[in-house]
Chains A and B, each alone.
Chain A
C-alpha cells in the first residue's frame, strides 16, 4: 500500500490527471517553457545588465527575480451540495451549495444547478470553509527533522539582515507541508526568525507539492518584511555587537529606516532626473527591501509581544512613513485593541501559548476575542509545525474563552480568524480567504463543525484541485523525505 501511495503521489505531482479524475489539461499558460527560459537567460547574458534598465534606459532592478512558476493543478467543475458553509468573512449558511469552476469560486447559494460534466460532492452533514491560512510558519526553513542542517530560520550574524529572503531557505520537501495540508492549510506565509531586528523577507506559498520553492510561490502575493521586538534580538546580540536592550532595539530600527529613507531619496532623485548616462546609486539589497516597505509594496510582519512596545513601533512607523501591516504573536494585543484598530494593523496571535519568557507572561486565552471585540483585525497563527495542523481548534479555544467572558461572537466571525482575516494580514484578501465569487477555489470540507475537536479535513481543494482526500491515500502528497521511512504514508 505504501509503495502504491508513493507512485500515485508522484503521478499527482506530474499533473497527469489522476488527481480528481480530471479530463481537463493542466493549465500551462502560467508556466514558462524550458525553451522560453533558455532564451531569457541567453538574452540576459548577451545584454549584460540591460534587463535591469527601463524603457528610458534608467537602471531599475527587477522586483521579482525569482518569479512564481506555480500553476494550479488540474481541476474539475465541482459542486458541493447541502453543506453548512462558512464564507470566511463572517457569514454562515445552512444547507448551502458551493460551486467551483475553472479553479475559482463561481457561486455559493441554495439549490444551485449542477453544470453539465460537473462533479457533485455530497456535503450533507458536513461543513465548508475557505482554505485555512497560516500567516506565520517556518515550514521549509525550519524543516522536519529538526537537524542542525535544517536550521535556515535565523541569519543570526547581524541584527539587521533585511537582505535575506526566506524563500532562499525553503526546502519544499519538508514533510510538515503535507501534514499542514491534512489540517486544511492551503496558503501559508514563511518568515525568517525573530533573532534579528530586521529578519528578512517572508514569502507566501501555496501548499502544493513542488520540486522548487518557485513552484509554490503565491502569484503576485506581496512580500513581507519580518521585524522583531523585544527579548529575542537583545538576547541574541546582548553579549555581542548589541542591541543589548529595548533602547538599543529602537535605535537599531531607526538607524536602518533613516538609511532606507535616504537610499530611497537617492533613487528617486536619479529616476526623476531621467538621465540614462547618470551613474545610478549603488545597489544595496538590505535597503532595497526597506525601500519596498516605504513604497508600500512589502508588508511589515512584525514579531511583537508587549502592548507598550507595539505602541512605540506604531509611532516609529509614523516617524518614517510606513505602515505596520500585522503584529505577530501580539500576546498583549488585548491591551491595545483601540490602537490597533486606529492604525489598521492586524494582530496575529496564538490561542494560548505563553509563559515561556517575560514578554509572554501576560498571555491570556481571551486575547483574540477581546482584540476582535475592539474592532481590530485579529486572527490566529501557528509559528509551529504541529499547531499549523489544527488552527481551527486554536480558534475554537479562543472563541470559547471569549464567550465565557461574555463577548458575543458568532461562529462565522471566529472562522474568519483562520481564513478571511488571515488573508487580510497577508494582503491577499482579494485572492483567497473567502468564498466570494471570483476568489481562488481554496476550500476545505470538514467532517464535523470546524470548531469541534473531532473535525478533520475530509477534502482540501487548492485552486479547485483536490489536493487531499482523507478517504483516498492516493490523493495526498508524500514528501521525498518520507519515502522508505518508517512513517511513510501515515498522517
Chain B
C-alpha cells in the first residue's frame, strides 16, 4: 500500500495567511443559517473581513483571493460554546493547566482572559476541525462560582481573545453540591448569599469588612452578572435542579440564565422555552452516568428543539480542549436521533453566537457578518468529511498543526516503502 502525500503539498501551499481580508469562496453548497437557506453552486464574497455578498451567480471581484470549494460545502465557521482551549495543554499535568484554581480564594473575579494562551497546541487542531470561534470557560475551584469566561477565535493571533468577561460560570449540579460542602441546599445558600453581596456592593463592604459569601473584590466582579449585564452559565443536570435554576432567574428579574449540562433538560423543555432560557448540552450523553442524569437520552436535543428551546451543543463527554473538534460529530448524532439537520448545525454555529450576544456578527453567512467561512469536502456533520479551507475574518488560515506534521512524518515513510521514521 502506498501513500500519496498530495494533501500536504496543498496544505503547504496555503501556509502563508493572506494579508488582505478580501476573499471570494466560490463553487460550493452554501449553508447560510439565515432565511436564505441553502444556496447551491454559490459564492461568498468577503470584503475587508466582512461578508459583502452571497449568491449563486456572483463573480469574484478582480484582485480578490479565491478559494474554489470545488463542489464542496461552504458554511459559517463553527462556534464552540464550551471549551477550555488556550487554558490547558495536558490534562494530567497541573503545570500545563489554568482551568481551575483549586487553592485560590477568589471566585467571580477570576477572569480566564488572564490565563489564555493563543499559542496553545490544541487551537490549530480545533481550527483544522472547522471551529473558528469559541467560548473559554473556567472550571470551579474551591467554590461553586468558577469565574468569568471569554470569547476567542482560533486564528492563534495575539488578539484572538476578542471579548473578555462575557459570562459567569456557576456549578449547581451534584459536583457543585460537593464543592459547597456536601449538599445542594448549601450550594444554593452560598449562591444567594453571594448575589446579596453583589447586590449590596459596595455599601455592605463599607460597614462590614467581609461579605456573607464572597470577598469585596469578588462581589465587585459579580455585579455585572447580578444585574444581567452578562449571563450566568449555570451547570445543572437534574430536572429538579433545572427547575430551581429557572425559579432563581425568575425571582431575580434582571438575571440572564444559560443552562449548561442539561442532562435532563428535555423533561423541563416547555418551562425552559417559556422562560427563554438557552441550554448548552452534549448530544452524546445518554447513560445514567450519575443520579443527576438518570433520564439523559439521545433524542433529548430533538425534544428541546421541538419545544422551541434555544439549544447549543458541546463536547463535554469527549473533552473541552483536545477534542473540541468533535463538535460536528456530536451534532450529527443529534440528527441521527431525531433533530433536524438545520437545527443541529445551527446548534454549533449561530445559536452559540446568539447565546453569547454576538449572533449578529458570527455564526451565519449573510451580509455584515464576519468572514468566518469553512469549506468542507462534504456534509460537515458526516464523520468521514473533512475541512478543506478555513477563513477567519476573511483571512485564509494555516491548516497545519503539530498532529498533522506527525502524521506527515510517519506516513511519508510508507510512501517511500521504508519502515517508520528512523533517527
Contact = CB atoms under 8 A, between A and B. Distances in A.
A373 interface: yes
Given A364-B407, A491-B297, A401 B386 contact: yes
Interface in A327-345: 334-339
A137 B20 CA distance: 51
B267 interface: yes
B381 interface: yes
B385 A400 contact: yes
A486 B287 contact: no
B251 interface: no
A361 B120 CA distance: 13
B5 A146 contact: no
A485 B298 CA distance: 16
Contacts of A366: 407, 411
Nearest to B383: A396
Nearest to B388: A404
Nearest to A392: B383
Given A355-B122, A486-B294, A456 B336 contact: yes
A349 B179 CA distance: 35
A491 B298 contact: yes
Contacts of B90: 355-358, 361
Interface in A344-364: 352-358, 361-364
A273 interface: no
Contact of B403 (A179, A363, A385, A407): A363
A352 B326 contact: yes
A106 interface: no
* B1, B122, B317, B318: most-surrounded residue (chain A CB, <10 A): B1
Describe B's contact surface by its main secondary structure.
loop
B289 A145 contact: yes
A175 B287 contact: yes
A465 interface: no
Interface stretch (A40-48, A214-222, A318-326, A447-455): A447-455
A449 to B, nearest CB: 9
Nearest to B284: A386
A487 interface: yes
A299 to B, nearest CB: 25
Contacts of A160: none
A490 B294 CA distance: 10
A452 B341 CA distance: 14
Interface centre among A354, A370, A406, A453 (most CB of B within 10 A): A453
Nearest to B2: A408
Contacts of A285: none
Contacts of B337: 456
Contacts of B206: none
Contacts of B415: 406
Given A452-B384, A487-B295, A145 B290 contact: yes
A365 B264 CA distance: 32
B332 to A, nearest CB: 3
Given A335-B420, A364-B406, A485-B294, A145 B288 contact: yes
Contacts of B291: 145, 147
A481 interface: yes
Interface string B304-327: 000000000000011101110110
Interface residues of B, number: 63
Interface in B319-358: 319, 321-323, 325-326, 329, 332-333, 335-337
Given A336-B420, A355-B319, A364 B287 contact: no
B5 to A, nearest CB: 5
Contacts of A404: 7, 386
B410 interface: yes
B286 A405 contact: no
A338 B287 CA distance: 39
Q: DSSP majority for the A interface?
A: loop
Contacts of A439: none
B395 to A, nearest CB: 23
Contact of A362 (B288, B318, B406): B406
A451 B421 CA distance: 30
Contact of A452 (B4, B289, B382): B382
A407 B288 contact: no
Contacts of A352: 323, 325-326
Contacts of A337: 414, 419-420
Contact of B332 (A339, A453, A486): A453
Contacts of A407: 1, 3, 411, 414
A8 interface: no
A146 B289 contact: yes
Nearest to A369: B411
A179 B285 CA distance: 11
Interface in B354-404: 381-386, 403-404
Contacts of A18: none
Interface string A250-273: 000000000000000000000000
Contacts of B421: 335
Contacts of B4: 406, 408
B92 A356 contact: yes
B93 interface: yes
Most A Cβ at <10 Å: residue of B289, B299, B384, B414: B384
B296 interface: yes
B91 A370 contact: no
Nearest to B328: A453
Contact of B336 (A336, A373, A454): A454
A357 B122 contact: no
Contact of A179 (B6, B287, B299, B329): B287
A335 B289 contact: no
Nearest to A356: B91
A231 interface: yes
Contacts of B91: 355-357
Nearest to B408: A405
B410 to A, nearest CB: 5
Given A357-B93, A451-B383, A453-B333, A481 B3 contact: no
B295 to A, nearest CB: 4
A404 B335 CA distance: 25
A224 interface: no
Contacts of B113: none
Interface centre among A145, A352, A355 (most CB of B within 10 A): A355
Contact of B335 (A361, A400, A454): A454
Among A335, A375, A454: residue with most chain B CB under 10 A: A454
Given A356-B90, A490-B295, A406 B329 contact: no
B410 A335 contact: yes
A126 interface: no
A343 to B, nearest CB: 13
A456 B337 CA distance: 9
Contacts of B325: 352
B288 A400 contact: no
A370 B411 contact: yes
A177 to B, nearest CB: 11
Contact of A400 (B3, B336, B381, B383): B383
7 contacts: A352-B323, A365-B403, A366-B407, A386-B317, A405-B3, A456-B336, A485-B294
Top 4 nearest A-B pairs by Cβ distance?
A355-B322, A453-B332, A338-B419, A486-B295
Interface of B: 1-8, 89-93, 122, 239, 264, 267, 284-291, 294-299, 317-319, 321-323, 325-326, 329, 332-333, 335-337, 381-386, 403-404, 406-408, 410-411, 414-415, 419-421
Interface of A: 144-147, 175-176, 179, 231, 235, 334-339, 352-358, 361-366, 370, 373-375, 385-386, 389-390, 393, 396-397, 399-401, 404-409, 451-456, 481-482, 485-487, 490-491
Given A334-B407, A374-B414, 6 more contacts: A179-B287, A386-B286, A386-B287, A401-B386, A485-B295, A491-B286
